[in-house]
Amino acid sequence: MVIGSMKAEERIERSSRRSGSGIDLTCTFKLVALLWAVLPMAAIEAFDYKDALSKSLLYFEAQRSGHLPYNQRVAWRGHSGLTDGLQQGVDLVGGYYDAGDHVKFGLPMAFTITMLSWSVIEYGDEIAAAGEYHHALEAIKWGTDYFIKAHTHPNVLWVEVGDGDTDHYCWQRPEDMTTSRQAYKIDTENPGSDVAGETAAAMAAASIVFQESNPHYSHLLLHHARQLFEFADKYRGKYDSSVREAKRYYPSWSGYEDELLWAALWLHRATGKGAYLEYVVENGHRFGGTGWEMAEFSWDVKHAGVQILATKLFKGGDLPESQRRAAQQYRAKAEYYVCACLNENNGSNVHRTPGGMLFVRQWNNMQYVSSAAFLLSVYSDHLIKAEQRELQCPDGAVGTQELVALAKSQADYILGANPMRTSYLVGYGRKYPMKVHHRGSSIVSYKRSKGFIGCMQGYYDWYGRRSPNPNVITGALVGGPDSRDKFRDQRGNYMQTEACTYNTAPLVGVFAKLHRLSDQHIQIQEMSTPAASSS
């Protein structure tokens, strides 16, 4: 896979002068000093955020479908899904498996790419300083290359390959797949505004990432994003009504309205065109952007992300009256989410476990933890850049450093600062899940044993084993513990031990930011320590 040569050296040099959010280092140093001052000593553990960032990006290579490139770093994986789309006469080879199975679901895959792109947009300098910028672009491009293939006509998008029911019946390595590779599409007669809108958002966000390094590719992505948004908006409908095979696995509970707002905002950020911002203003109330108060952010429910992104984009003191009013409404809802995470929302807060983890629901709760940490990080940067040092929550004023502290506490919980003393990022630290619910990880590598493993043979010979998985799926963020911080590392406990691409994606930005803050904290300590006098 060839990627335009991003000027990583320029980013590293630039990041040495400024933080990724455009804040002068003097201001950032003050924030870092204040942040470490307000954190309790128990929270200041020596976590290696650079290592966590590196491992997070490595995970996406383990989830690749298609013909793997020469520089593939996850050696236990091989080529797979090489005939995807053949039955329908379209090339759908590539993309990502969403979790521990081998279906390619378009909606969560697109959200994964949007969040990876947003991480690079906000924290590209920090990612470059950690030496991971090229790997971040590779992870994004592996997804966007697939979306280009899947968008075969302005009003046609292939949104799923494989069938969840038959896929879950088998326990096989991806290299041995014998399950259905039926492909499913949306079109004018079978619309899917949610998945088309999210894919438009992903391609628009990715176009920003590639603007400097690969302008031709960036333009191509933007072309597809515009077409997909027009398709999603003109032919409205929920994709799980058109592709019923997706309904049991990734149903669009929130509807498609949030994705339309989300896509319009990313297109505005990518193009600067006012028409997209006007769309967000005109449809804000009807689509729930300025009306819904949400305490979660996920592949399905985008409202909090929409509200925070809108707050960032509606800036300047000379806005027209309609935009000024919309900006205030979007900001109020964005801060509802932030205050709810901070436990400062007059009782309407996100629940926390005894160990301090934000808890939304039992199944795969870590997706909400990682996305909250990311939104808190981004919003704290926004407030600082706007020279606003505190946020007015219903229960009182909250300093920007408290947003960063909460984001850090959630990242640290993931990495091991929790009652189980377990890192829920696989491969990081001394203790992490060893029996991840993941077919490829749990069966001997195809590179070591090329003998075919059949559909049920995998269940008989591998699924029930009590021993750890033979292949460590490094960088995977598993579903995590329950509301009492309890976690059972068992392969059959898929609610807790299955990992998903959209769990890890937001962490790329979070770990990059925390690595930079940690480095700056060390610099502050060194500057404040008097030089030893020579004897």
Active site residues: 101, 437, 489, 498
The token duo for 241 is: 């009504």
Sign of CA dihedral 229, 118, 373, 481: positive
Question: What letter would DSSP give residue 246?
Answer: G
Q: How far apart are CA 71 and CA 358, in angstroms?
A: 37
Tokens of 343: 């436990």
Q: Is 178 helix (H, G, I), strand (E, B) or coil?
A: coil
Query: 61: which 2 tokens?
Result: 């290579």
Beta carbons of 377 and 407 less than 8 angstroms apart: yes
Tokens of 470: 């033979």
- Phi and psi dihedrals of 209, rounded to 5? -60, -40
For 213, list phi and psi in degrees, rounded to 5. -80, -30
Which of 196, 496, 463 is closest to 361 using CA atoms? 496
- Residue 137: exposed, middle, or buried by beta-carbon count in 10 A (0-12, 13-18, 19+)? buried
What Rg value do the Cα atoms of the chain yield, rounded? 22
| Beta pairing partners, 64 | 96
Residues linked to residue 111 through DSSP beta bridges, in sequence order: none
The two structure tokens encoding residue 49? 């955020």
What six digits make up the tokens of 402? 């408290």
Q: Say how far apart CA 113 and CA 257 lie, in whole Å.
A: 20
Q: How far is the CA of 251 from the CAs of 75, 258, 397, in angstroms?
A: 34, 14, 38
Dihedral of the CA atoms 376, 382, 386, 392 (nearest 10)? -20
Two tokens, residue 211: 């603007």
> Counting Cβ atoms within 10 Å, is residue 378 exposed (0-12), middle (13-18) or buried (19+)?
buried
* C-alpha to C-alpha distance for 386 and 481, rounded to whole angstroms: 37
CB 146 within 8 A of CB 535: no
* C-alpha distances in Å from residue 303, one per residue of 254, 290, 307, 327: 9, 9, 6, 14
